[in-house]
Amino acid sequence: MFVRQIAQVVRIALFVSLAATLLNGQAALAQANLEATDVSETSLTLEWDSVPSATNYGISQGGQSIVFIPDPSQTSYTVTGLDPNTKYTFTLGWQGGEDSIDVRTAGNTQKKRSSRRSRRSEQPEPESDQHRAPKPPPVTCPYLPSRVEVTGYVQSTQCQMVGAAGVGNMDVIKRGFIDAVDIWSYVNGGLEVCFRRAGALVFLDAAYAPRMVVELNAFQRDGMTCGAIDGPGTVVLLRSSEPADLAAPPPPGETTLPTHDAIPLHDCQIKLVETLFLRAEPAGEIIGLVWQYSEVPAFEISGYWYKIEFEGQTGYVSRYHRKVLRGGCG
């Protein structure tokens, strides 16, 4: 009797072991057939077949979890926020198995693709095609809309159109807002902004917080309303009663810049972090150079300009691209 009981226990243990082996084998053999559809520059949709043994799914990219899907009946998920022309590896995981796929997003000039692509049919791409997404242009001012034109910028000058909300000054907006362009980074005098509409111009000076409103002397050039600035800020075009309000353009070599009161400085010593022009007056004629890493005294501030002395010569340099060594330098 005792021997028969032992034999029955052994048979039950073997049956449980065999059942577990079969179940694990089925889970290992289960395939989700993961595919990518609707591949665009910045998004794609992952689709897969339902896996009978799965109670939930998890999607990861490059080892980083993207989403946990608790509903095993869901068999698709759209991934957004991707970079153009970039190769990604996505992995779909479930209890006892996983499936992966490599897919490249569309390039900036490629049309959106909607055909289903399987990793088994995708051919390896040549090394020459594996380039990074194109970088934005280093200078933004040439890429403004045709209704505005900026001249006199340099390599690091940046421009961007802004609306009334970007201007943010209700007193200016109430005067009849039409258009505006924000200019920042390096502005070293003589930069002109022209709008292809008649109107009045004001400048929101970024050297002050909140930005100070400066009336610009607008002039007409080639049918455009133009004004000159000598530092970062926002140029705003406002409604004007008549185009005749515009003055003639300044003579060659001259600019109509906003004026600033000179503010005296006391015991101010600065160090330049790059070589700058030395000018006879703010945004004026270039009379020399002040070399990078030079340490010079500054006597006053005029808007965006320091009045300094360098090698026995007095003149003005930009307030930017410097480090304060001592004193109240503004």
pLDDT in tens, 28-39: 456 788 899 988
Which region, left, alpha or beta, applies to residue 303 given φ > 0 means left and ψ of -120 to 50 means alpha?
A: left
CATH number where 223 lies: 2.60.40
Tell me the whole-structure pTM to 2 decimals: 0.41
257 found inside a domain: no
135 found inside a domain: no
Give the model's confidence band at 200: pLDDT under 50 very low, under 70 low, under 90 confident, else very high: very high
Domain span at residue 315 reads 263-328
167 found inside a domain: yes
**Closest among 190, 69, 87, 83 to 129, alpha carbons compared:** 87
251 found inside a domain: no
Q: Which two tokens stand for residue 67?
A: 């989403």
Angle at 273 between CA 314 and CA 304, to 5 degrees: 55
Give the model's confidence band at 281: pLDDT under 50 very low, under 70 low, under 90 confident, else very high: confident
Would you say residue 314 has pLDDT above 90?
yes
Which region, left, alpha or beta, applies to residue 8 given φ > 0 means left and ψ of -120 to 50 means alpha?
A: alpha
Mean pLDDT of 270-290: 84
Mean pLDDT of 86-104: 86
Name the average pLDDT for the chain.
Answer: 78
Instruction: Tell me, yes or no, whether 178 and 102 share the same domain.
Output: no
Instruction: Tell me, yes or no, whether 241 and 307 share the same domain.
Output: no
255 found inside a domain: no
Would you say residue 113 has pLDDT above 50?
no
Per-residue model confidence (pLDDT) at position 133: 52
Q: How many domains does the chain have?
A: 4
Would you say residue 129 has pLDDT above 50?
no
Instruction: Tell me, yes or no, whether 199 and 282 share the same domain.
Output: no
Contacts of the segment 133-140: beta carbons below 8 A, 24+ positions apart = 133/83, 133/84, 133/85, 133/86, 133/107, 133/108, 134/84, 134/85, 134/108
Would you say residue 117 has pLDDT above 70?
no
CATH number where 276 lies: 2.30.30.40
Amino acid at 157: T
Instruction: Tell me, yes or no, whether 2 and 70 share the same domain.
Output: no
Reduced to 3 states, what is the DSSP secondary structure of residue 164? Answer: helix
- Alpha-carbon span 72 to 167, nearest angstrom: 50
Per-residue model confidence (pLDDT) at position 123: 53
